[in-house]
Structure 1
């Protein structure tokens, strides 16, 4: 594999009067002996499996309150259904608002420390769920659980984008995110088993659900301080030549910031004023809102004279399969935008749920809904179209954070007075998915238009020593192409958005 500098053709120049400096990352290091296939396989084993486990625990701990409700949580705490919904809502405010600063902290600090610290915090809070006695206690632990869990999902997505090329990210994110579906299936079985500890130590079965799951999370958090790897340029499990090789291949894939980037406020500002950030927030609104509603209320939705936790297992197994298939197709076929539109179009599942009065038909519709909610094609799509490590970290955190904030709404839409068909809840979730579809279409159209403008030379910068009739000073003036690329990130004229 070769790493070539950007040519005049790459940046739309019709002529060039002087050669462009290659500016290879650490050009003194010889990487000719590195086997790319073996290296990437080793990176996969060091990065993906443990992150998948962390997210499994994250999703498991977050949603366990839905299972605990089935085992008399409300009655033992003497709370109403409205108070229960408020407790669910409280979780989402710190969960959403803390995500952007957490991602900046992750980039500044070592992932092995920051992610492990967050995990340790939510593991302790999860365990404390098992000793609360009233409504105030429930509100407190839900708030702090949201605070500590906030940084994990956007942090992992950003962290993985710092390891893999744009054409590789979708499959890895899908494999990591599929653990959420495993958690959904496993949580029902685990809760059913742990609930049999009713009365042991004088504690209710639902309390043991929180205590045991929380303690296991704490143990994994301690191990994570040594298992979670840092960024490619300083990962300990790689040799020096391998670290350099990984950074160079990322930079060749328009990840110019892969070799490290100093924190500057302008990088954060670039994210805030970029239209992609705001449309991505709409996409994630249409994804995360339904995701939380689905994960928190699946047992409730299908609890129509059935063993709800057990019937939810095959639903999550199907969601896991669909997540992996869609992620794989996104990397192999490309065209993630079109795939995203197709996935969101499965909102037909919620149309069936609204009109159905047949339990079997409604149960089938839940499978269609899972097919629309769990595939993570939009994660890789957004990440692939934002360059600059700090900018990407903020954009992902804002988009995911806003999506999660809508969980505060969707955690209140399945009211007990609407059972057994929950038409209001299904209608609201359907609206969210429709918003996500519209934003995805807009994102796709605008990216295509911007690529055409760049192909036509409308975004070309003025580069010293290069003759380019299309260059405009309002697009910036730079000493060389590498400076323009580093300064502008995905706004650089040579950057092409993936559709």
Structure 2
């Protein structure tokens, strides 16, 4: 099971690194052989700066757009999505989850397509299609159409993060790759920071063209994605051996420095079925990850229904977190593959329901469209930052036990999910008690009805959802 989809809604995982090309298979002519070490170092720094400016900013923009497109469904919910499409909370939870099902299922084949079609074709094409999917989400009128749009959105977005990760690994040394990937990934936090405000502004178009505000969020952001996708046909580069922005000498420099770093795929390589079969084990692992996701999906819907009926979202988080703790304890302590696989089910069941439930909990306890939008943006953006953690704690050298990774997630579950939910529940219960007893009535003394209404969740008569 992939770590990122268990931990947060927008985290991702890279495909395996480029295969090593033997030195005699590429042109290793050194255009700087006659230069001193200091001169060579200066040229190398200039080359690296040129690569950074040409590759990183645009790719980061693409990831920012992808995160806006996958998380704006929460903003649309605030603008009446559920009411207009007649969705239950369980159906909404299912629509959130189905994105990650298609996203994870189709990840294994994306880098094969990236290599075969070239980045300058593959990335803009999938972006164009997901922009269309996003736009159609604003045209849906029922649950079935909405689910279909979310499924295809996950399918088409599946290629971006692993594709870009693979792509960048074919341009940079391993010692240079991490910081570039971190910069690229940080676009998710940026998207979470202002996505709510952007959606709130777009929602002011409510009624324009007979469309609701939530529909315009999908339509306009989808159209922006399409425009950026078209521009990407010119802005996204190919692999170093055919990059048009590099001189012939610079292409040799890039290929040479990667070869010295024991990397390759900087040059063109024909696709062969033998490469696909060499991925059989990882593909099988991806398929084995589907059942835990499915079980997690079912429980997510069940918890959504239960939390709505009982109004005890914190207690629901506490309950399912115990499942996650048990699951990751099994992953750490068990020796049997069967027991560990069972642990992945409990791990998914302990984390997936908490994502939608926590977002709902925060939404329930925040009054005011803008405040709620900003709050959710911060929560989602902060959650996505955990992808930086997960990309560093699950290391290849720790296979097959991955104790550092599983241990870190277990610590998160105990301290933040279980402990944080207990703390939040207790504090909210105490605050509700003070409001019921009238200890907060002084907040509204001397205020008129309008001013009291503007206090939002700071009104003394506002009781928090526990």
Indicate the larger mover: 112-121 or 262-271: 262-271
Which residue of structure 2 lines up, in the alignment, with residue 346 of structure 1? 412
Which residue of structure 2 lines up, in the alignment, with residue 95 of structure 1? 103
Q: Give yes or no for contact 2:91–2:143 (8 Å, CA) kept in 1.
A: yes
Distance 1:87 1:316 in 2: 17
In the TM superposition, what is the alpha-carbon distance from 1:25 to its structure 2 partner?
3.1
Cα displacement string for residues 357-402 of structure 1 (whole angstroms, at most 9, x for unaligned residues): 448689xxxxxxxxxxxxxxxxxxxxxxxxxxxxxxxxxxxxxxxx
Cα displacement string for residues 469-493 of structure 1 (whole angstroms, at most 9, x for unaligned residues): xxxxxxxxxxxxxxxxxxxxxxxxx
Return closer, same or farther for 1:254/1:296 CA change in 2, 3 Å cut-off.
farther
- Relative to total residues, which structure has the larger helix share, 1 or 2? 2
Aligned counterparts, 1:39-438, within 5 A: 39-273=47-281, 299-307=359-367, 308-315=372-379, 344=409, 345-347=411-413, 348-358=415-425, 420-421=465-466
In the TM superposition, what is the alpha-carbon distance from 1:230 to its structure 2 partner?
0.7
Cα displacement string for residues 222-271 of structure 1 (whole angstroms, at most 9, x for unaligned residues): 10000011111111111111111111111111114433433233333333
In the TM superposition, what is the alpha-carbon distance from 1:212 to its structure 2 partner?
1.0
Distance 1:326 1:87 in 2: 25
Q: Give yes or no for contact 1:162–1:258 (8 Å, CA) kept in 2.
A: yes
Structure 2: gaps (5+ residues): 1-21, 293-330, 332-343, 430-463
Return closer, same or farther for 1:89/1:266 CA change in 2, 3 Å cut-off.
same
Distance 2:210 2:362 in 1: 31
Distance 2:169 2:285 in 1: 16
Q: Give yes or no for contact 1:175–1:324 (8 Å, CA) kept in 2.
A: no
In the TM superposition, what is the alpha-carbon distance from 1:213 to its structure 2 partner?
0.5
Q: Give yes or no for contact 1:102–1:151 (8 Å, CA) kept in 2.
A: yes
Distance 2:387 2:133 in 1: 30
Q: Give yes or no for contact 1:304–1:420 (8 Å, CA) kept in 2.
A: yes
Q: Give yes or no for contact 2:23–2:259 (8 Å, CA) kept in 1.
A: no
Distance 1:274 1:199 in 2: 48
Distance 1:118 1:275 in 2: 21
Cα displacement string for residues 64-118 of structure 1 (whole angstroms, at most 9, x for unaligned residues): 1121111111110112222222323333343222222221010112101110001
Q: Give yes or no for contact 1:171–1:327 (8 Å, CA) kept in 2.
A: no
Aligned counterparts, 1:23-34, within 5 A: 23=24, 25-28=26-29, 30-32=31-33
Q: Give yes or no for contact 1:185–1:314 (8 Å, CA) kept in 2.
A: yes
In the TM superposition, what is the alpha-carbon distance from 1:29 to its structure 2 partner?
5.3
Q: Give yes or no for contact 2:28–2:252 (8 Å, CA) kept in 1.
A: no
- RMSD of the alignment, in Å? 3.9
Distance 1:111 1:208 in 2: 31
Indicate the larger mover: 131-140 or 42-51: 131-140
Return closer, same or farther for 1:146/1:272 CA change in 2, 3 Å cut-off.
same
Distance 2:177 2:258 in 1: 12
Instruction: Kindly tell me the number of residue pairs found equivalent between the two proteins.
Output: 342
Corresponding residue SS for 2:270: coil
In the TM superposition, what is the alpha-carbon distance from 1:353 to its structure 2 partner?
3.2
In the TM superposition, what is the alpha-carbon distance from 1:211 to its structure 2 partner?
0.9
If the length of structure 1 is used for normalisation, what is the TM-score?
0.59
Aligned counterparts, 1:408-487, within 5 A: 420-421=465-466
Return closer, same or farther for 1:132/1:312 CA change in 2, 3 Å cut-off.
closer
Q: Give yes or no for contact 1:56–1:183 (8 Å, CA) kept in 2.
A: yes
In the TM superposition, what is the alpha-carbon distance from 1:196 to its structure 2 partner?
1.9
Which residue of structure 2 lines up, in the alignment, with residue 445 of structure 1? none
Q: Give yes or no for contact 2:393–2:408 (8 Å, CA) kept in 1.
A: no
Distance 2:391 2:85 in 1: 42
Corresponding residue SS for 1:132: coil
Corresponding residue SS for 1:216: helix
In the TM superposition, what is the alpha-carbon distance from 1:143 to its structure 2 partner?
2.3
Structure 1: gaps (5+ residues): 1-20, 363-418, 422-499
Corresponding residue SS for 1:131: coil
Indicate the larger mover: 229-238 or 32-41: 32-41
Q: Give yes or no for contact 2:60–2:184 (8 Å, CA) kept in 1.
A: yes
Distance 2:100 2:383 in 1: 23
Distance 1:192 1:43 in 2: 37
Which residue of structure 2 lines up, in the alignment, with residue 11 of structure 1? none
Distance 1:242 1:361 in 2: 60
